Structure 1
Amino acid sequence: MNEQHRFWQRALRMLSLGVPIEKVSSVSENERHTFQQEVWVRTLLKEQQKKHIDMNMHLEHIPFIIIDTETTGFSPQHGDEIFSIAAAKTRNGQLNDFYFRLIRPEKEIPEHISRLTGIRMEDVQSAPRLKEEMKHFLSFISDGLIIGYHISHDLSFMNHFLWMNYRTKWTGRFLEMQQVMEMIHRPALFPTLDEALCHYKIPCERRHTADGDVQAMVELWKRILEDLKQKQIETLYDLYTALSVMPR
């Protein structure tokens, strides 16, 4: 059992007895700050679970939050990390707020990833660590339904981080934009974001950057919502029903 684990056990025991965190003995200032951050993240995720988006709610009224990350590889279990993260709050296809941060990873950004994204280690030297920034990101995305292209990649990194640091995971609703795109235009397939953008002739000058891709996906989602309306898919229930009958 490592020191950090022993600290959590000790602190949680004392808190369960009603001892305020500021009164917990033998806790350094740094440990207290870390513990308070853990409590904050857990509380935020629990509150998010309580938020309910009615299935009969019209799509134009639902706050959809588009997210994207850039990562050093494809496997968080093998040490790959997020080094860029972006999100856009939208309603009825319109951009309402935008979030973007570079993140300083523990390990070097591989050269082939730097060539793809244009982001090198020197660009992130003064950026925060993911542990410093995650609470801001979670706060930004906590009041909507998150969507993205190949969103399982982004969620796998986010949930790996949350599990390793807080023993919790994101449990909110999410949608895979590729599935919605292919449901609308079946039998056509759109395995990449590039093909989806090309279909609607949407430019993306900063492709393979988190903020550039999110900005392009804001426009893509606006076009998708217009097509859903044309197909009389108007509520979240309609959308889930249409997705459920798609051939696998």
Structure 2
Amino acid sequence: MYEQRGFRQWVSRLLSLGLPKEQLLGVSENKYSAFHQEAWIRNLLKEAQRNRLHLHVSLEEVPFFILDTETTGFYPQLGDEIIAIAAAKTMNGTIQNFYFSLIKPGRMIPHEITKLTGITDKDVESAPRLAEEITKLLAFLENGVIVGYHIGHDLVFINHFLWTQYRTKLTHRYFEMKSILEMLYGKGAFPTLDDALHYYSIYCEKRHTADGDVRAMTELWGYLLQELRQNGIETLHDLYSALSLC
């Protein structure tokens, strides 16, 4: 009912601006909903850009979002898609809120991915499409800094979807955990998340699942924050400066 009223108001507004009525005949309510969602997504990302934290804020006061995805492969430009997303909002290494969703892809999940993640086609049969879930994810990530291990993989998939659907991309600051570890311990010290988890004696109950990996990475992030402080790195500016020297 609300969408129908909004659609009628939208059409009336376009007519009042002088758009010929015949040009609106082919515009459906579904098309209006798509326009509405695109506008909402753009507003969320612009808001995130406007509300970027000051670089001299203490790391203890920064909302860090630990993010992970599971995908059907490595190449979104070749048709691979996200099948699970998880994120934890943390403050000073402690989880404040948690987001998780399975995602229904437009293709079958390869056997090797099911073997790795445990996610089957049946598991995602009733899951939302990414187009249906993306606004929830973006709203959850609002006004914070994204962190992850090999985070580039996750951001490439999310940004590929945002760009192909809405011609926009994430505007958040982000940090790569692996780069922070290499800054602290030297290049090549922890090539994989498993190496880092083993070093800090962190047990990951559900490895290679988005929610399981996020919980393990959140624990890892807590250790890294402690070590950053011990090395005199106390603000976002300090962290950017230290990483730029590596």
Identify whether the pair has TM-score above 0.5, normalized to the shorter chain.
Answer: yes
| 1:8-23 to 2 correspondences below 5 Å | 14=14, 17=17
* Alpha-carbon displacement from aligned partner over 1:35-71 (angstroms, at most 9, x marks no partner): 1111111111111111121111110010000100000
Q: Is the 8 A contact 2:52 2:172 kept in 1?
A: no
**Cα distance between partner residues in 1 of 2:142 and 2:135:** 10
- Does 2:51 align with 1:51? yes
| Matched residue, 1:4 | none
| Matched residue, 2:5 | none
| Matched residue, 2:226 | 226
Q: Which secondary structure state, in structure 1, belongs to the residue aligned with residue 203 of structure 2?
A: coil
Q: Which secondary structure state, in structure 1, belongs to the residue aligned with residue 80 of structure 2?
A: coil
**Cα distance between partner residues in 1 of 2:223 and 2:87:** 18
| Matched residue, 1:5 | none
* Alpha-carbon displacement from aligned partner over 1:140-199 (angstroms, at most 9, x marks no partner): 012200010001000000010001100111122110011011111225611110001111
| Matched residue, 1:108 | 108
- Report the residue type matching 1:163 in the other structure: W
- Does 2:176 align with 1:176? yes
Residue 237 of structure 1: how far off its partner (Å) = 1.0
| Matched residue, 1:6 | none
**Cα distance between partner residues in 2 of 1:199 and 1:233:** 21
Residue 32 of structure 1: how far off its partner (Å) = 1.1
- Report the residue type matching 1:160 in the other structure: H
| Matched residue, 1:92 | 92
Indicate how the Cα distance of structure 1 residues 26 and 181 shifts in structure 2: closer, same or farther if over 3 A, else same.
same
Q: Which secondary structure state, in structure 2, belongs to the residue aligned with residue 127 of structure 1?
A: coil
| Matched residue, 2:67 | 67
**Cα distance between partner residues in 2 of 1:182 and 1:142:** 28
Q: Which secondary structure state, in structure 2, belongs to the residue aligned with residue 99 of structure 1?
A: strand
Q: Which secondary structure state, in structure 1, belongs to the residue aligned with residue 232 of structure 2?
A: coil
**Cα distance between partner residues in 2 of 1:241 and 1:208:** 32
Q: Which runs of 5+ in 1 are unaligned?
A: 1-10
* Alpha-carbon displacement from aligned partner over 1:128-150 (angstroms, at most 9, x marks no partner): 00000001001101220001000
| Matched residue, 2:27 | 27
| Matched residue, 1:239 | 239
Residue 18 of structure 1: how far off its partner (Å) = 8.5
- Report the residue type matching 1:143 in the other structure: N
Q: Which secondary structure state, in structure 2, belongs to the residue aligned with residue 228 of structure 1?
A: helix
Q: Is the 8 A contact 2:63 2:145 kept in 1?
A: yes
- Report the residue type matching 2:29 in the other structure: E
| Matched residue, 2:139 | 139
**Cα distance between partner residues in 2 of 1:18 and 1:126:** 43
| Matched residue, 2:164 | 164
* Alpha-carbon displacement from aligned partner over 1:63-96 (angstroms, at most 9, x marks no partner): 0001000000000000000000000000101100
**Cα distance between partner residues in 1 of 2:241 and 2:43:** 32
Q: Which secondary structure state, in structure 2, belongs to the residue aligned with residue 123 of structure 1?
A: coil
- Report the residue type matching 2:46 in the other structure: K
Q: Is the 8 A contact 2:56 2:236 kept in 1?
A: yes
**Cα distance between partner residues in 2 of 1:211 and 1:26:** 42
Indicate how the Cα distance of structure 1 residues 56 and 122 shifts in structure 2: closer, same or farther if over 3 A, else same.
same
Q: Which secondary structure state, in structure 2, belongs to the residue aligned with residue 240 of structure 1?
A: helix
